[in-house]
Each structure stands twice: as structure tokens, then as C-alpha cells.
Amino acid sequence: LVFGTVLLRRVCPGGVRATRRRLIHVFSLLALARLLDAHLPRPPPPVDGSRARTVLITGGNSGVGYETARRLAVTYGKNVILGCRSEAKCAAAADAIDAEAGSSGGGGGAAPIKIDLSDFDSVASVAERLVAENIKIDVLFNNAGYAPVAGVPADARGLDPSFADMHLSHFLLTETLLRSNPEMRVVLTSSGTHHLCAIPFVLPRYFMDTASIPHGAGCVDEEYLEKGMYGSIDGAAYIRAKAANMMHAVEIPRRHAGATAVAVDLGWVGTAIQPFMLTALSPTALGWMRNVEVGVMPVIRAILVEDEQLLQDLRSQRGQWKEGGIAMNVFGDAEEAFTYNWWKESAGTGRSRMLELSNLLWDVSNTVLRKNGYLSTNM
């Protein structure tokens, strides 16, 4: 108690009473932001303006992936391919969507495909099969992810399993499919937690001196790409994977003329990613968290809105995708990645620095996969 009082006086010199008032104001603002996040997302377009017909969704049998697939097939008449690790769950999910889409008369449908993101062979096989069968993927939704447990050892290739599953496998899938359709749109599930790769580094120095931050500025930096990705899962694995998803989205149009990419911050959405989200008194049931029907609205926008409209929504001066992919916030608004106030050059996390790291991440990802026998030039 004494230590806490002293610390509060250092943070807020006005005394404990003033500190209490400030904390109340801060938490009130946070509560308001959470309420708005939970209930006021921008709705998807009522009319589909895209030319996309076929959408591949990883992690398509549950949560955000399933609801996105269901909405696309039933409401917008899209053909969706559900990529799932469990063949049985995938088939059941596809059958349910197919039945609902059929009764709606919208012309959409669903098909399952088994893909295991923890196995590069499985990912490569699925991508090559789709290419060989001339199945054109108009939109790839790299959605599958999980909450990693710190301490899990490196995989058989010596890689951090969470980084391999949530970034490298999606990178492999994306690059292979882009060879077949260079104008494919790639949508990635990122997270507001990726901002934690920047926020701690703009806080007062005493915070950095006393707190234990398990990652460097920007999360996916040179040190991690040289050493950290070859090891066990650490405490920053999830936010690092989400930062990598954002960085991947930024880099795709810079590497592939004609391609577009959007990394979506879903906000706090009730899914099965954590056990507590499935309880009777879950945050969703209490109204503190978006339900999945509301939570997928930004994703639907990212998939359906036309290329030109997304650039117009940025409200910036740029007019070309070759300058990089974009972010979409919890309200469904397009934004430039890494431009919030806490992404600062002085802290080593400014936009130019993150674009540089995004470029490096692409090069390293490509090199790692090629060394393991994937993404050969004669594909």
C-alpha cells in the first residue's frame, strides 16, 4: 500500500485524491471506448460492389471465420471455401452454411478443405491443389489464430510455433495463391493488441526501468527475426503475431502490383479463442464484448468494399495501392497502419521504421520458407 501510494504520487504530484479523480476519468473514458467498440461498428455495405466471387477463409469452422463465411454466402451470394484443421468440423460447418444459403436463394454456397497451419506441407498442398484445379481465389481471408501458451518449445524446424502458424503459414498460402491470381485481395485478422508493440516505448522512463517488457520496440524487429523466431513461445507471442499480420498486409501491395491487402482490428469479439468467453457469464453475455455477428462487420467491409473506395476512405493524399496495404479499425474505417500517436520515430516505432521492418519481415519469411523447400521459382 505504501509503495503504491508513493508510486501514485510520483505519477500524479497532486496527491492521492487528485490521482483518484484522474484514474476515475481515465477508466470512465476507457469504459466509454469499450462500450462504443462493442455496439457501434460501421455496417457492411448493403450492396456488394466487389467483383469477388470466391473467398477462402482459414479457421472457417468457428467464430469470426464461420460467421464471415455464413454472411458472405447467405447475404451476398459468395462461394466460400472453409479452411479448417478438423475435416469433420469443416464439413459440418460447410453443410450448415450451404443449407442456409440454399434456402435464402442468394446463389452462394460453401465447401470445406482441410488445412493444418502447423504443417507447411499441408498449407503448400492446399494452395497447389487450388491452383492446379484452376479455382480462382478472389479474396483470401487469413483469419485462423489462437492464444499461444508461453513456454511451448520450438517446432520440428526450430521455429516459434505461434509465429509459424499465424504468420509463416499464411505467408506461404498467400504467396502461392497470388501467383495464380495477382489481383487477389488479402484480408488478415490483426488486433488492437499490436499497438502494445509501440505504447510501452513512449511511456515515462521509470516505467520502462521497472516493467518487464518481453519484446523490443515494434515487436518484430531485427533481433527477433535473427534469433527470437528460432525458439520457444514467449509472453509476447500473440501481439507479435498480430503485428506481423499488420506488417504483412502493408507489404503485400508493395511486392505485388495489382494485389490489395487489409489488416482488420476486430475489437473485442466473443469467440472460442479463450475458455472464459464460452461461459454463461461471459463478457459477451454481459454486453461488454461484441458478439460475433457484430464483430465481423469490419471484416465484411474489408472483403466487399471496392479498391478505389477503400483508398478514398483513407482521407489521405495517396491514391495508389503500391504504397502499401492498409488497416481497418474496429468501426470499419480504413486507416494507414502505424500512424497513431504512440508509433513514434523517436521510440523506434514510427511509420517509416515499421515499413522498413515490414520489408525485412517479408524477405526473412520468404527466405525461411525457401530454405525449407517451399515457394520454389518453378511453381
Residue 248, domain CATH: 3.40.50.720
| 223 falls within a domain | yes
Can you give the pLDDT of all 379 residues of the chain as single tens digits?
A: 344 444 445 445 555 566 666 667 666 666 656 555 555 666 676 566 677 899 999 999 999 999 999 999 999 999 999 999 999 999 999 999 999 999 888 889 999 999 999 999 999 999 999 999 999 999 999 999 998 999 999 999 999 999 999 999 999 999 999 999 999 999 999 999 999 999 999 988 777 777 778 898 999 999 999 999 999 999 999 999 999 999 999 999 999 999 999 999 987 765 554 444 444 444 444 455 678 888 898 999 999 999 988 888 887 767 789 999 999 998 899 999 999 999 999 999 999 999 999 999 999 999 999 999 999 865 5
Q: Are residues 30 and 137 in the same domain?
A: no
| 379 falls within a domain | no
Q: Are residues 193 and 255 in the same domain?
A: yes
pLDDT given for residue 104 in this prediction: 85
Q: Are residues 124 and 19 in the same domain?
A: no
pLDDT given for residue 212 in this prediction: 79
Bridge partners (DSSP) listed for residue 187: 141, 262
Q: Are residues 160 and 25 in the same domain?
A: no
Whole-Å CA distances, 214 to 34, 113, 152, 197, 201: 26, 37, 16, 10, 12
Q: Which three cell numbers stand for residue 22?
A: 484522474
Phi, psi of 119 (to 5 degrees): -130, 105
Q: Are residues 90 and 50 in the same domain?
A: yes
Residue 167: how many other CB atoms lie within 10 Å: 27
Q: Judge whether 217 and 201 are in contact, CB under 8 Å.
A: yes
| 288 falls within a domain | no
d(CA 128, CA 176): 7
d(CA 350, CA 217): 10
d(CA 331, CA 315): 15
Nearest partner of 178 among 142, 223, 138, judged by Cα: 138
Please give the residue range of the domain that contains residue 203.
Answer: 45-265+296-371
Q: Are residues 199 and 223 in the same domain?
A: yes
| 27 falls within a domain | yes
pTM: 0.84
Angle between helix 169-180 and 237-255 (nearest 10): 20
- Report how many domains make up the chain: 2
Q: Are residues 31 and 71 in the same domain?
A: no
| 281 falls within a domain | no
pLDDT given for residue 355 in this prediction: 97
Q: Are residues 145 and 194 in the same domain?
A: yes
pLDDT given for residue 319 in this prediction: 73
d(CA 175, CA 182): 9
Q: Which three cell numbers stand for residue 147?
A: 492464444
| 376 falls within a domain | no
pLDDT given for residue 139 in this prediction: 98
Residue 183 DSSP symbol: T
Could you read off the pLDDT of 200-235 as tens digits, one per residue? 999 887 777 777 788 989 999 999 999 999 999 999
| 271 falls within a domain | no
Q: Are residues 3 and 117 in the same domain?
A: no
Q: Are residues 14 and 92 in the same domain?
A: no
pLDDT given for residue 203 in this prediction: 87
pLDDT given for residue 204 in this prediction: 84
Q: Are residues 237 and 319 in the same domain?
A: yes
Q: Judge whether 357 and 350 are in contact, CB under 8 Å.
A: no
| 278 falls within a domain | no
Q: Are residues 209 and 245 in the same domain?
A: yes
Q: Judge whether 220 and 357 are in contact, CB under 8 Å.
A: yes
d(CA 119, CA 366): 16
